[in-house]
Structure formats: structure tokens, C-alpha cells
Structure 1
């Protein structure tokens, strides 16, 4: 396939580009600087600028663009950055796809989203048909996904990748935790009974490639593990992997003080399950937290671009 990717320089984009090229696909990267390589094309999503011919003849478009959710405290200014970095890119791509005539339009748009769509689900399992929650992240996901509608209305198959935190030693979940756990400072958050959504990197990559080729699947898809775990189970499993105790608990007020509004996400219970992937016959390599953490800590970082 000929694939055009936005967000190809990010953590997931770099690894997905490598995976797809190893599978024989041709990947072209959308970049915001002047293009310097044959596999690059320049765009400016903040201004809605993308020449539709860049997408002409592509089999698929993959959009993983968006500022890092956990990189900063959620000030009003950074919330605007989070929204704009997702909505502007998605809207620009979807409208460019819609402008193309039949026969030149990409058949598929794999559009980034997140399991933050569901908000706090308590002990209840939620599949893709569940409505959006009422948190900031849920509202962000709602407008993010809606921005892809012009492509869907034009006849392109749109798959909404509701991604959970991805487990890899270089990923945004494990990277900041590993030094603490290796020093014996690992701790559950609050009571630890809240459910966590997550997915192993290898399974995320496999699921995206699976969805790229499954033309019978469209709409939201939960990219999550097949076996859920609580925060306490995650904490104990990670401590076992680094051979250190994890006897501490971080009280909610302390998390609030350190992280601000973002702390609410760390304390919410979210039990998203992969209804669509299960029904489509996808097979997980690391479906449970123990095997996923073992693989994540064993893997060596790659930075192929």
C-alpha cells in the first residue's frame, strides 16, 4: 500500500513507520518543515494548508498527530494546545481527502483517538458503542473524532483508533515510572482499585496493521489489552519485573498537588474492552499485564525514521 502518515515523528509514528515498511508498504510522511526527502511532503495544519494532490492515489492515510497529553500541567493555554494539535490536523486531512475526486481519494483513514473518550467507567466494562464521558479528555476525543467526518461523508472508510496508554520502556507511561520503581519507590495511586486501560506496543502495532487491511471494519475501535488490570495489579506486576518492593500508596491529594487537573485522569477507573478487535479475530501477543511488562522491559529502544 501507499500510505501517507501525519505524526510520523512521534513515539508511535516512528515505530509504526518502521513496521509498515518492513511489511512492504510505502510510507510518506507529512512534515511541518520544508521537505528534504522524497518520502516527505510539507503541510501546515494550523493554517489548514495541505495540497490535496499530496493524498491523491494513496491507499490509506494514518493520522497520529497531537501534542503529548502528559507533557505539561493542564493550564488553559495547554488545553488549547492539546485541542488544536488534534482538531486542526484531523480537520485539514479530512477536508483534503473530501476534495479529491472518486478514484483518487484514499480508501481508508486511520484516525487517532484515545480511550479517554469514556471518562470514568467505574467497574463497568465499556465497548465501542458506549457514549462519551464528561471529562476534559472525553470532550477532547469527541471533537477530535468529529473532525474526521468530512472524509467519512466523502466515502472514505474511517477507523477511529481509541488508543490506551502503550506499554514500552520508552513510552510515556513506563519511562517516568521505571526509575522510581527501580529505586523501590513504586506506589499504587490511592486505593489502587481503579481499572487501567493499556496495550503492549507490539499489539498496538499489530492492531493498526490489522485494521489497515480489514476493509470491513470502520468506526471506533478500542486499542486496548484483552485482559484488564487494576492500578494495584499493575503496580505489583511492574515491581516484580524490576525485583523491588512496591509497598507505598500515593494519596489523591498529593497527586492533585503535583499534577493538577491531570491527576484526575490518573485516579479515574477506566475499563475499556476491545469489542471490535475481539469480534474481528485479532490475536494479542501480550494480552495480560505480566507478559506485556516483561516484553516492554526486555525490548531495546529503536529510533528508525
Structure 2
């Protein structure tokens, strides 16, 4: 299968490309710089331009690109970059897909569990309406930007990803060194729910959604057992055999992180209802097994 992938240098993109190429698929990496070789093609999300010639013959497109939510302090300028990189980039990909004489059969497009806002202790699934807040608004616009592809008859899957447990990137890559040094601790009250997923399970879910022609619409890519931040802290301490004595109080987080602290302290108890109903099985369904998998521990 010929598959185009944006965001191929990110945590999920790198792992997905490895998985696909290991199984003999031909991957076209869409990059913003000039292509380095025949495996790459160029696109420019700022100008909303895509080299559509590179998409010709692709049976699937996986769109994962977007400015990192945790990469910078949330100034007004960076919040605009977060929104624009997702909404404009997704619109460009969707319109490019729709413009092809023979479009791909499926578009998998990134989104996030942030769409639900702060859910407190209430469990939510794909039938739950969007919540409130900056990320919830971004996610709604992000998902709506796929409209051109769906209107062209392309099966469109929205990937509402939770916190990915991995040492290779993302939020957890910052947690592992701190906890490894015995400097980890709960964030705020620790009562907020974290909806996580092991990187292995995330890639397996992407492959499942690529290969299931009856599946479309939103899917929560989270493990079936969300846990509180306090439980995450305890699991990290057990697996790493380190104390976890250093909580980060909410006021300190707000001072250090600015607006992003609201999202760090928010609670999201998200269930992967549609993924489970589709027959997908998690290899690492609980937090301790996910942490062990990230560390290569049995």
C-alpha cells in the first residue's frame, strides 16, 4: 500500500512509519522543507499548499502534523500558532485529497481528547459533545477542517489521542528523567484524571483503523482504564523504584506554565468506546503495564 504521512518526524509519526515500512508498505513523507530524496514530498501548511502529485496513487493519508502543545509557553502568538498549524494544515491536506481524480480510500487525521474540555470525574466517550476552553475550541475547528475530504467521499477518521506513554517524545519523555532521579511527584491535587495510551497500542490502533473500511468518524485513542495523576505518580515510582516526594502545587504550575497550566490541571476521564466496540484489543490497558512497556520492562 502507498501511504502519505505528515508529521513523520514526530513521536507518533516516526513509530508509524517504522511499522508501515517494516510490513512492506511504501510511505511518502510530506515535509515542509525541500525533499531530501524520493521518499519525501513537500507541503506548506502556512500557505495551505500540498504537492498533490505526491498523493497520486496513495491509498491512505495519515495527517499527524501540528505545532507541539507543550513546546512553548502559551503566549497569544503561540496559541495562534497552535490553532493555525492544525486548522490550516488539516484544511490543506483535506482539500488536496478531495482534489484528486482518484482520491485515497481513507484519511486518518489527528485530533486530541482536549476536545472534551475538563470532564472532572465524569467518564466521556465519542458520543459526548465538545467541552469548553482553548484546546476544546482548537480541536473542534481542527476536526471540522477535514470536511472537504469527507464531502469528497473519503472515509475520514478523527484520532482523538490522549497522553502517549513513551520515552521517545511527548509529555512522558519529560516525566521519565525526573522520576528516574527521584524528583517526580503529583501535579496540583493529583485528583485530575489522565487518559493515557501506550505508544505500542497507539500505533496498533492506527493500523487497525487504516485496515477497517467500515470505521469512520471520531475515535478516542486512550487506554480503557484512565487514572488520576496521583495514581500515575505512584505507578511511576513503583516501576522506577524511586521515591516521588516533590509535588508541584497548582499556583506554582500556573506561574511556570501560564495558560497551559489550565490544561495540565484539567481532568479528562476518557473511554475508547468505539475502538473497543470495533474489536480492538489493548496490549497495555493499565498504567503500570504502559509505563513498563515504555521502559522495555516485562
Q: Which residue of 1 aligns with 2:36?
A: 36
Partner residue of 1:302? none
Q: Secondary structure at the match of 2:57?
A: coil
Are the aligned partners of 2:41 and 2:51 in contact in 1 as well (CA < 8 Å)? no
Q: 1:247 Cα shift? A: 3.3
Q: Which position in structure 2 is the counterpart of 1:47?
A: 47
CA–CA separation in structure 2 for the residues paired with 1:31 and 1:51: 10
5+ residue gaps, structure 2: none
Q: Secondary structure at the match of 2:128?
A: coil
For 2:154 and 2:177, the matched residues in 1 are separated by 44
What secondary structure sits across from 2:224 in the alignment? coil
What is residue 290 of structure 2 aligned with on the other side? 292
Superposed, 1:10-29 pairs within 5 Å as 10-29=10-29
1:139-193 CA distances to partner (integer Å, 9 max, x unpaired)?
0101111110000001000000001111011222222222221222211122211
Matches within 5 A, 1:265-304: 265-298=263-296
State whether residues 175 and 184 of structure 2, in contact with CA within 8 Å, keep that contact through their aligned partners in structure 1.
Answer: yes
Pairing of 1:104-253 with structure 2 (within 5 A): 104-253=102-251
Q: State TM-score, norm by structure 1.
A: 0.95
User: In 2, Cα distance between the equivalents of 1:179 and 1:40?
Assistant: 33
TM superposition score normalised by structure 2: 0.97
- Separation of aligned partners in 1, 2:23 and 2:169: 23
8 Å contact from structure 2 (residues 196, 222) kept in 1: yes
CA distance in structure 1 between the partners assigned to 2:241 and 2:166 by the alignment: 18
* Equivalent residues, number: 297
Partner Cα distance (1:239, 1:187) in 2: 9
Per-residue deviation, 1:18: 0.5
RMSD over equivalenced CA pairs, Å: 1.2
Q: CA deviation at 1:49?
A: 1.5
Displacement of 1:56 in angstroms is 2.0
How far has the Cα of 1:132 moved from its partner? 1.0
CA distance in 1, matches of 2:178, 2:13: 27
Q: Which moved more, 1:274-283 or 1:25-34?
A: 25-34
Change (3 A) 1:35 1:171: closer
Aligned-partner Cα distance in 1 for 2:232–2:13? 26
Please, which runs of 5 or more residues in structure 1 have no aligned partner? 300-305
CA distance in 2, matches of 1:51, 1:70: 29
CA-to-aligned-CA distance 1:181-214 (integer Å, 9 cap, x gap)? 1222211122211111110000000000000001
Aligned equivalents of 1:21 and 1:193: distance in 2?
41
Is 13-22 or 36-45 further displaced after alignment?
A: 36-45
CA deviation profile, 1:14-36 (whole Å, cap 9, x unmatched) = 11100011122111011112223
Deviation at 1:251, TM superposition (A): 1.4
**Cα displacement (A) at 1:129:** 1.4
Residue of structure 2 in register with 1:59 after alignment: 59
Greater than 4 Å deviation, 4+ residue runs = none
